[in-house]
Structure 1
């Protein structure tokens, strides 16, 4: 990956060594620590900028979690607070959280929920980033570290004729595309193949991947599809429990002699239905994929020891080499703040007093992704692609025009 010109921002002066950058600003990672009131920008394993900030004050706290830049505006006025000016605004949620310039950045929480930045740094950060760059906000500071695990994806790029780069005879080259050179692979001519030559560009949009527990929506979509296949018309497999779906469920239950009153999606009903459809045990996990802020596909996966929490983890692919079929991953583990009610709903047992939170490696050990799903994801893998792992699934901040947004804490600790 092309590296950014090394940039240092002194906490006291908030000045940058350069405002000219090369590479893809969407692959940067931005970490904000509310405890230290600091912001650190990483490009892979390099710190390229730092600054002091001011986050939300009591009663208007900045949420902790995993976000990405949804929108950028050189000048913006707040829709919530009397049209307050927000120059160099970079939006993190559609509900009102953003990074922006302020003339008051006192190194303690003072905002209404946004992350205030000193003037010079706000402009320079704006010029560094692109839409989609990740912003991780935590209480205590965390540092991304290299992650190596068999469960993580490695890129493979398809070429014309159904070949993958790993199978073709390749000649590496580069071309100029806009501001930066782009790695390509040239497939040599082969008289025995109908495909004479191909070019494969490495500059693909990063994918965003969420691995989580299956919710009622995903389970219900499966139920609707299986019932319809078995002759019980459940309507469109949309995950919504309408009259037609309820009628189909009750029709199946009467056929199998199951109780039709009370809870609709009982474990007994699900077990019998999956067996009738020849699907084995009901899956417990779900993988969802987005690209350029739009859903691409989702699929069921297996999670071992479902009574244990997955935790909250984030990993991002750097140094993606399509020719070699390799990528380096760097990740962090965040606090996993699940209420007792949420754990009960998800079937998670309360951890013992001396039990530590699961590490990223321990969680990856428990996740099994079907080969068919891997073959679909890995050709899409580009620089800056990321994986979020979370027990809590899709939250209310994730919607149209967003990546997967995972809020780990809405109010400050203590």
Structure 2
């Protein structure tokens, strides 16, 4: 895949594919390139980059943590991967008899569960945990600005690719 961008300090800055877009992943390069995999998240750009050694093999738009829930910068490692994870904090209270959502956008630390309901955590498919309970995961809502409770939201097809090639213990660098 032809990449356009500038080589800065041995890393590609603002890389895009030959079509000028983002949200791409080169499976062949991910499988065949030498070197260890790593993920770099740029909070200013709202993009995540997947590398195999020094070779960039994927770029995705993201939505990181909003004000009051900022995604922390730092150097981390993948702690765990779960294909069908659900949040233990954020979700909905659902009527136990009908399955209807009674209260959405619940924070279990702040909102009491109404009688006759149960908690259903928000879906976080292709979850790659790297900092406490913070991780990358699929979301149907990935605006081009920080909007999450701290996690890094990705379009589902990109979260699937990052998940496929991520390994527990690999580095994740979050920066501005």
Aligning the two structures, in what range does the TM-score lie when normalised by the shorter sequence? Answer: 0.5 to 0.7
Aligned to 2:143: 106
Deviation at 1:52, TM superposition (A): 1.1
Question: Among residues 29, 42, 54, which one is paired with 2:63 in the alignment?
Answer: 54
Deviation at 1:13, TM superposition (A): 5.8
Are 2:138 and 2:156, in contact at CA under 8 Å, matched by a contact in 1?
yes
CA distance 1:20–1:35, shift in 2 (3 Å): closer
> Which TM-score applies when normalising by structure 2?
0.67
Secondary structure of 2:148's aligned partner? coil
Deviation at 1:14, TM superposition (A): 2.1
Asked whether 1:86 is paired with 2:95, we answer no
Asked whether 1:18 is paired with 2:32, we answer no
Secondary structure of 2:159's aligned partner? helix
Asked whether 1:36 is paired with 2:45, we answer yes
Q: Which runs of 5+ in 2 are unaligned?
A: 4-14, 92-120
Are 1:89 and 1:100, in contact at CA under 8 Å, matched by a contact in 2?
yes
Mapped partners of 1:67, 1:48: distance in 2 = 20
Aligned to 2:85: 76
Asked whether 1:134 is paired with 2:143, we answer no
Mapped partners of 2:173, 2:81: distance in 1 = 17
Asked which structure has the greater CA Rg, the reply is: 1
Q: Once the two structures are superposed, what CA deviation does each residue of 1:355-397 show, in whole Å capped at 9, x if it has no partner?
A: xxxxxxxxxxxxxxxxxxxxxxxxxxxxxxxxxxxxxxxxxxx
Q: Once the two structures are superposed, what CA deviation does each residue of 1:252-275 show, in whole Å capped at 9, x if it has no partner?
A: xxxxxxxxxxxxxxxxxxxxxxxx
More helix by share: 1
Deviation at 1:93, TM superposition (A): 2.3
Q: Which runs of 5+ in 1 are unaligned?
A: 140-414
Mapped partners of 1:49, 1:90: distance in 2 = 16
CA distance 1:61–1:25, shift in 2 (3 Å): farther
Secondary structure of 1:109's aligned partner? coil
Q: CA RMSD in A?
A: 2.8
Report matched runs for 1:223-302 at 5 Å.
none
Are 1:6 and 1:48, in contact at CA under 8 Å, matched by a contact in 2?
no
CA distance 1:46–1:15, shift in 2 (3 Å): closer
Secondary structure of 1:120's aligned partner? helix
Are 1:33 and 1:39, in contact at CA under 8 Å, matched by a contact in 2?
yes
More strand by share: 2
> Which TM-score applies when normalising by structure 1?
0.30
Deviation at 1:44, TM superposition (A): 2.1
Task: Name the structure, 1 or 2, with higher relative contact order (CA <8 Å, separation 6+).
Answer: 2
Secondary structure of 1:57's aligned partner? coil
Are 1:25 and 1:130, in contact at CA under 8 Å, matched by a contact in 2?
no
Q: Once the two structures are superposed, what CA deviation does each residue of 1:271-311 show, in whole Å capped at 9, x if it has no partner?
A: xxxxxxxxxxxxxxxxxxxxxxxxxxxxxxxxxxxxxxxxx
Count of residues in Structure 1 that have an aligned counterpart in Structure 2: 134
Secondary structure of 1:42's aligned partner? strand
